[in-house]
Amino acid sequence: MDSTMMDIPLTVTSIMRYGTTVFGDKEVITCTGDGPARRRTYATVGERAARLANALRSLGVDGDQRVATFMWNNAEHLEAYLAIPSMGAVLHTLNLRLSADQIGYIATHAGDHAVIVDACLIPLFAKVLPLAETVRHVIVSGPADEDALRSLAADGRAVHSYEDLLAAAPATFDWPALDERTGAAMCYTSGTTGLPKGVVYSHRSTYLHTLGACAANCFGLSERDRVLPIVPDVEEAVARLSG
């Protein structure tokens, strides 16, 4: 006999819908480093995530195609984190601290169709792009000069403005019903023991990880507090334990 209680897939879409409605008036704050912080409500982030999903569809992203990010921690990166898995594609975060050769190999091995790049990282990404054979679209977030944009337009790659794409896209998206065990995001190891290897995270694993983060209430934490997670280098940790 199958259960009839709470038969709801554990997906990133569920997290997005809850966060951008119940906590729609809460803010995402992006530190700029050289001026006032940028502030954006979760409701606005939800609308912009829908616009991003529509924009990616218009660029041919369907099924479980990979969309990479080459970005810092900011509101636009959060929009990608919500939109890409929720539309059924797979978010692929590229590690900008690896060498250009490694990043190019990783993007090609993953089959990245499009990459969202922070404008300030264009000089670094320009060295990667010739090695990322599958990338067809580069989406630039933030202001960039014409010379920088031209450096990305070689080899038939289409270059787009993130904000222009969102402005031209509808503000609502028909989010598909997804199997919680399908891929939501992927990342690669650092390649210290051979070529980097891809790891795919399911919607379910991401949802359960989120529930684990909510369990911080046992430490007396609340939504009013700020927490900085520090993720260890897994390979280094294993090496220390085995030593």
Q: Which residues contact 188 (CB under 8 A, 6 or more apart)?
A: 95, 106, 109, 110, 196, 197, 198, 199
Digit-by-digit pLDDT tens for the chain (243 residues) are: 888 788 889 999 999 999 999 999 999 999 887 888 999 999 999 999 999 999 999 999 998 899 999 999 999 999 999 999 999 999 999 999 899 999 999 999 999 999 999 999 999 999 999 999 999 999 999 999 888 888 888 777 999 999 999 999 999 999 999 999 999 999 998 767 788 889 999 999 999 988 887 776 667 777 788 877 766 554 554 455 455
DSSP state for residue 155 in the 8-state scheme: G
Give the pLDDT confidence score for residue 238 in this predicted structure.
47
Is residue 1, in this structure, part of any structural domain at all? no
Other CB atoms within 10 A of residue 48 CB: 23
Domain span at residue 172 reads 12-213
List the structure tokens of 141.
Answer: 């977030």
Give dist(CA 177, CA 113) in Å, integer: 22
CATH number at residue 121: 3.40.50.12780
Is residue 226, in this structure, part of any structural domain at all? no
Is residue 104, in this structure, part of any structural domain at all? yes
